[in-house]
Structure 1
Amino acid sequence: MTQTKPSRAAEWWRAQRKRLLWGAAIALVVLVVAVVVARLLRGLPAVEAFVAEYPGIVPPPEGAPVGIPAWLGWQHFLNAFFLVLLVKTGLELRSKRRPPGFWTRDNTRWPRTARPPRRLGIWLWFHLWLDALWVLTGVSYAVLLFATGQWVRIVPTDWAVVPNALSAALQYASLDWPVEDSWVVYNSLQQLAYFTVVFIASPLAILTGLRLSSVWPVEGRLAAPAGERMARAVHYPVMLFFLAFTFVHVVLVFTTGALRKLNQMYTARDTDDWLGFGVFALSVVVMVAAWVVAKPPLLKRIAAASGRVQG
């Protein structure tokens, strides 16, 4: 009896699961070592003096807004929603599995060009639409961030943020959480993390994703292979950074006063009732449902409204 050779895609998924297990094991070891080292350091008088001088928080600038607005709650949900689906489609694209269908633009509904429309795999088509919606969400976030003055909460305005961030990291690592009130001001480590996500990682994800997309010119100086290789080398690690940030963010929310934090994030209220948790739980249900129903049969029907679908 002959055995069927595993497909290339199946081998890729098996390799990813193996990498995930190894990565989780290494992360656990690193975490344990970090906790032990941090607790030993906290026992040194010089380190305790450093923590006392830099408690982990830089006072906000005068006139900085207090509280988290309601629009930020919608941003929390939309960013998480699109991130989940972008990860799903991104993994499908990296698996090198043959797309279950192909979409081609209908030229009778769009302005004609000199070049024939390009054919896209259904996962790439969906990934590009998610990218566009995520970018639109990001643009609206940036506009509201600066229009409401909320930018001062995540953009460092004092070099003291650096030693305070180191202090906060040390306190987190030693399992002695820094005293903070995110309704008024983020601690310095949070501030640097949010700044990195909004102003560094997100633009990198957009630019490298654009370079790898079908809208990028296939001819001319901009189509140099080196640019595509660099984009691939950056795009996937940026996705891993988003996943790591999200994981740490969720863990800290649930270990530093979950009910109050969820109310701040999802209901724009500084209270500790269960309403915020309920809204958060509903958002998780929506994301899980989207992951489950985002399958080729449904995507093909949606894609057919704007072009020709084959396969």
Structure 2
Amino acid sequence: MSRTAATAARSRWLKLAWMIPAALLLLAAVVLAARWLRETPGAQDFLAAYPGHSALPDGAPVGIPAWVGWQHFLNSLLLLLIIRSGWMIRTRQRSIGSWTRNNKGLIRTKNQPKRMSLDLWFHLSLDVLWVLNGLVFYVLLFATGQWMRLVPTSWDIFPNAASTALQYASLDWPTESGWVSYNALQLLSYFSIVFIAAPLAILTGLRMSPSWPAKAPRLNRAFPIQAARALHFPVMIYFVLFIIVHVTLVLATGALRNLNHMYAASDGTGWTGFWFFAASVVIMVAAWVAARPIFLRPVAALTGKVGR
């Protein structure tokens, strides 16, 4: 590494180092402000009127079925690799190789297949698997009635979400009953991920992909690629922030029970869910390590020509 590059890297780390104590000070200020606010009579009346849970519709299912667990794992694995490959596309300066689709078999085109980077091929391949997994999830969600646990059906969801946020911020956290229903803030968060962020990521990603029709002037004017690029990266950041907060709260608000909900289809406090979670983490770490050119090239070569 040259002296200039080393100096630039050191400067970036120094800026990052200053962000850590600043974030801690901001967090402390938020906690103190929330604790003070909770002691005021108006806030106490508000918390009594809106404890943080919005009533579910009649007939809403109780409990989390096993299919949610394996869907959660597959979604987590694919999303982790999608974020990794997307970041590589955005930041990698030196190409690790290229991929060109074979113009034969089930998919044939008159035009010469476009060449893309190996990172982009990996990203798009993961996208396809993620979309297929998502379609299965949507079908099961509505077929089993589990959608009632994720879709707000009353306007009191918003004051209840504000109540939950105040309780979290004051570190006097709300009572969790995720097996029966999510609190209002969880419900809004999950709804935004499943029904807003995920479709938006798919739509903007499709707009930027080679699969988008180039000879569709009206469609392209209605949804310009600049708009897709402006939205796609912030959506990824939203996913990252959601994952950080989600994992933190899962582990901090009754880890064993929460992991049993997510991985063992159980409301108990045993260790079954934890061991499934631990195994899933091992698989995700192995997949992260395996997502390297030495492993990606032979896989990509099964469906196309891989170049340097």
TM-score computed with the length of structure 2 as normaliser: 0.93
Please point out which of 250, 268, 271 is paired with 1:271.
268
Structure 1 residue 286 corresponds to structure 2 residue 307: no
Superposition deviation, residue 104 in structure 1: 0.7
Superposition deviation, residue 217 in structure 1: 2.7
Superposition deviation, residue 109 in structure 1: 2.7
Match of 2:296 in 1: 299
Contact 1:205 1:235 in 2 (8 A): yes
Superposition deviation, residue 59 in structure 1: 2.2
Match of 2:230 in 1: 233
| Amino acid corresponding to residue 294 of structure 1 in structure 2 | A
- Equivalent residue of 1:263, what SS? helix
Please point out which of 251, 254, 258 is paired with 1:257.
254
Structure 1 residue 62 corresponds to structure 2 residue 54: no
| Amino acid corresponding to residue 272 of structure 1 in structure 2 | T
Deviations 1:44-87 (A, max 9, x none): 01101100111001122221100001000011111110111011
Superposition deviation, residue 32 in structure 1: 2.1
Structure 1 residue 129 corresponds to structure 2 residue 117: no
Larger CA deviation: 216-225 vs 167-176: 216-225
Match of 2:105 in 1: 109
Please point out which of 82, 85, 92 is paired with 2:88.
92
- Equivalent residue of 1:103, what SS? strand
Structure 1 residue 217 corresponds to structure 2 residue 213: yes
Structure 1 residues 227 and 14, CA, compared in 2 at 3 Å: closer, same or farther?
farther
Structure 1 residues 77 and 26, CA, compared in 2 at 3 Å: closer, same or farther?
farther
Identity %: 53
| Amino acid corresponding to residue 57 of structure 1 in structure 2 | H
> Which whole-Å CA distance do the structure 1 matches of 2:35 and 2:116 have between them?
53
Structure 1 residues 27 and 208, CA, compared in 2 at 3 Å: closer, same or farther?
farther
Superposition deviation, residue 37 in structure 1: 1.1
Residue correspondence of structure 1 range 121-270 to structure 2 within 5 A: 121-221=117-217, 222-223=219-220, 227-270=224-267
| Amino acid corresponding to residue 152 of structure 1 in structure 2 | M
| Amino acid corresponding to residue 300 of structure 1 in structure 2 | R
> Which whole-Å CA distance do the structure 2 matches of 1:69 and 1:21 have between them?
43
Superposition deviation, residue 36 in structure 1: 1.4
> Which whole-Å CA distance do the structure 2 matches of 1:241 and 1:18 have between them?
25
Structure 1 residues 130 and 253, CA, compared in 2 at 3 Å: closer, same or farther?
same
> Which whole-Å CA distance do the structure 2 matches of 1:288 and 1:18 have between them?
28
Deviations 1:27-50 (A, max 9, x none): 434322221111110110110110
Deviations 1:225-247 (A, max 9, x none): 98222111111111111111111
Structure 1 residues 3 and 203, CA, compared in 2 at 3 Å: closer, same or farther?
closer
Larger CA deviation: 78-87 vs 279-288: 78-87
Q: Which runs of 5+ in 2 are unaligned?
A: none
> Which whole-Å CA distance do the structure 2 matches of 1:294 and 1:45 have between them?
55
| Amino acid corresponding to residue 185 of structure 1 in structure 2 | S
Deviations 1:271-302 (A, max 9, x none): 00111000001100100000001101111100
- Equivalent residue of 2:224, what SS? helix
Structure 1 residues 25 and 254, CA, compared in 2 at 3 Å: closer, same or farther?
same
Number of matched residues? 307
- Equivalent residue of 2:190, what SS? helix
> Which whole-Å CA distance do the structure 2 matches of 1:52 and 1:270 have between them?
27
Structure 1 residues 18 and 145, CA, compared in 2 at 3 Å: closer, same or farther?
farther
> Which whole-Å CA distance do the structure 1 matches of 2:82 and 2:11 have between them?
20
- Equivalent residue of 1:261, what SS? helix
Please point out which of 75, 78, 82 is paired with 1:79.
75
Larger CA deviation: 102-111 vs 136-145: 102-111
CA RMSD of aligned residues (A): 2.4
TM-score computed with the length of structure 1 as normaliser: 0.92
> Which whole-Å CA distance do the structure 1 matches of 2:301 and 2:254 have between them?
46
